[in-house]
Amino acid sequence: MRRPSKNFDELRFGFIVVDPSHRGKGYGKVMLQLGLKFAFEIYGAKKVSLSVFENNEPAYFCYKAVGFDDVVLDKTETYHVLGKEWKCKELMIENR
């Protein structure tokens, strides 16, 4: 978890990883829910953002199941990985 700006209004999750042998068991959702509780209740964040590679559908659907919404950006963030272009999707959830 990091701050994209100097205040705590928005926090950003990064490198959310679940051991491959434990994926699909709900651990990612629980981890995200606990992280969101910490961000909103302890830090008082108004929103939390993250990005996910478009080809990582299991992670994308995990984030959506927890309540993250898609964010449309003017420019898609891309990375070159193993000779291929990987595009990112941006997601955000607001404190409700």
Sequence ranges of the domains in the chain: 10-94
Strands 78-81 and 84-94: antiparallel
Torsion of CA 29, 32, 34, 36, to 10 degrees: -130
Per-residue model confidence as pLDDT tens digits over 31-80: 999 999 999 999 999 999 999 999 999 999 999 999 999 999 999 999 99
Q: What's the CATH number for 10-94?
A: 3.40.630.30
Residue 83 has pLDDT above 90, yes or no: yes
Residue 3 has pLDDT above 90, yes or no: no
58 CB contacts (<8 Å, ≥6 apart)? 23, 24
H-only helix segments in the chain: 27-37, 57-66
Q: Would the CA dihedral through 80, 82, 83, 88 be positive or negative?
A: negative
pLDDT (0 to 100) of residue 5 = 83
